[in-house]
Structure 1
């Protein structure tokens, strides 16, 4: 532990430019701060600070050492906060964004139940199919579906979804049920917000199939209604079509070409991952969606 002595004091003095202010921030005496930094310099056999009656400044060695010491102090603070947060009660404002249909049908009842269980939490929920900038918008959490783009955000998988190609029984009776992908005509397919459907062959090769039907809409419920009315094939996630497949109102085709299950993700900035309100909500959603 002796090798840590003086590091927090050195970082505090370097950042505040004052032994007095550093001592106040660390709840130590000025003399103690000075002694601990002097001992640190002695162990390193290097001078880290220039001291005068008017100001404190860093030596070249001190500037280099500060870069690394800042990370050490920040990591220690995060570790302490992680332990402390285990005992914290979720409270305060949670700003969340999620896709519209998934948010309305799947997420809303879970969030409402979470709020009932945690009366000190407030919720600001923005439902949009646009991927908002979490940092700029001040969001604590986003729910994202499918394949994630590379970013500095933290992501936790909450569950999974499966894509289905479906059509109404009447449409299939009139136009035939495709037995292989070549039987599926692009002109028979309803187009959504994504330009192509992702499928997978038996040897695990990914196929991009481009629908070219006369209907194009970025609303899943609209496309679902169009399929129910016999206007063509559509690819939609399971939470749109499960009930309709189960009741026979829609028929799933080409199931052997389905991609592996896609992720349902909780995504949040790194500085939010130790927050009790975010941690409790993510844990709750993961358990609820798994059930």
Structure 2
């Protein structure tokens, strides 16, 4: 039959293992291997590269996966409709979120969500990389800032504000910048980018900055700013408590860019199942 081997193929593609796929599906490894072999014979193409350590998709396999993932999603959606998951959400959700924002805001909300909906199973990969949701089998992603991938559907969950700030001790010693060009005379604490974003006279400005340190850690940059090592630009969830206490002071506020979006995104060809819709609505309600 045309469907034979499809579920096994998708499972192996996503787990990158015949053994893990067999465990996931509750069948023997030999049966998974046999179904994949029959599928490759029927298609007259090789779908996987197999070594003793790893199983990866061939180019033809990646193309086939993109289509098959949608078929499996449609089958799952049909089963969900029959079992009426709108009443009792259950099943797996695979999602990704940025590391720091995910740790501080998303994971605690997921814990609250799962304490209410106990039959939902959530797997989260915290990563600052823009992962391919379709190819890697993700149902949902949390992304920050401007969205550039037009192939994804998106719902805004909230907003974040970026602040430029420094400690009173740094400002007492070096003075406060009053224009964007003044930043060139200051020690700027760098993250992964070598420029900061501003808005001046209605136009976006990217100002190249430099300093004596560069961290890929927002918490490390906050600590450096608190210790008077320079000026930093970071989202509100890193600095808001320090701004409230006066340990950090906002600078160049008149040049701040508009707040950025916090988004839930998902592939267009994925059926937004009741459990995912419920989770997105839950996140939206609590993040706002």
TM-score by length of 1: 0.69
Separation in structure 1 between the aligned mates of residue 230 and residue 195 of structure 2, nearest angstrom: 16
1:277 Cα offset (Å): 1.5
Unaligned 5+ runs, structure 1: 1-14, 17-73
Superposition pairs of residues 241-256 of structure 1, within 5 angstroms: 241-256=239-254
Superposition pairs of residues 216-255 of structure 1, within 5 angstroms: 216-255=214-253
SS at match of 2:92: strand
Superposition pairs of residues 1-291 of structure 1, within 5 angstroms: 84=81, 87-185=86-184, 187-201=186-200, 203-290=201-288
Separation in structure 2 between the aligned mates of residue 194 and residue 183 of structure 1, nearest angstrom: 19
Q: 2:194–2:210: 8 Å Cα contact kept in structure 1?
A: no
SS at match of 2:155: strand
Higher alpha-carbon Rg: 1
1:185 Cα offset (Å): 2.3
Separation in structure 2 between the aligned mates of residue 88 and residue 141 of structure 1, nearest angstrom: 21
SS at match of 1:199: strand
Q: 2:179–2:252: 8 Å Cα contact kept in structure 1?
A: yes
- Runs (4 or more) in structure 1 with deviation over 4 Å come to 83-86
1:210 Cα offset (Å): 1.2
Q: 1:187–1:214: 8 Å Cα contact kept in structure 2?
A: no
Separation in structure 1 between the aligned mates of residue 186 and residue 250 of structure 2, nearest angstrom: 18
SS at match of 2:163: strand
Separation in structure 1 between the aligned mates of residue 275 and residue 138 of structure 2, nearest angstrom: 13
Q: 2:85–2:275: 8 Å Cα contact kept in structure 1?
A: no
SS at match of 2:272: coil
1:260 Cα offset (Å): 0.5
Q: 1:272–1:278: 8 Å Cα contact kept in structure 2?
A: no
Q: 1:191–1:217: 8 Å Cα contact kept in structure 2?
A: yes
> Residue by residue, what CA displacement relative to the aligned partner does 1:72-91 show, whole Å, maximum 9, x if unpaired?
xx9xx99x97x957834321
Separation in structure 2 between the aligned mates of residue 139 and residue 274 of structure 1, nearest angstrom: 12
Separation in structure 2 between the aligned mates of residue 99 and residue 186 of structure 1, nearest angstrom: 32
1:137 Cα offset (Å): 1.5
Q: 1:273–1:279: 8 Å Cα contact kept in structure 2?
A: no
> Residue by residue, what CA displacement relative to the aligned partner does 1:264-283 show, whole Å, maximum 9, x if unpaired?
00011124342111101100
Separation in structure 1 between the aligned mates of residue 156 and residue 242 of structure 2, nearest angstrom: 27
Counterpart position of 2:46: none
Q: 2:161–2:260: 8 Å Cα contact kept in structure 1?
A: yes
Change (3 A) 1:142 1:186: farther
Count of aligned positions = 214
Separation in structure 2 between the aligned mates of residue 186 and residue 135 of structure 1, nearest angstrom: 46
Q: 2:189–2:212: 8 Å Cα contact kept in structure 1?
A: yes
SS at match of 2:234: strand
Q: 1:186–1:213: 8 Å Cα contact kept in structure 2?
A: no
Separation in structure 2 between the aligned mates of residue 156 and residue 256 of structure 1, nearest angstrom: 29
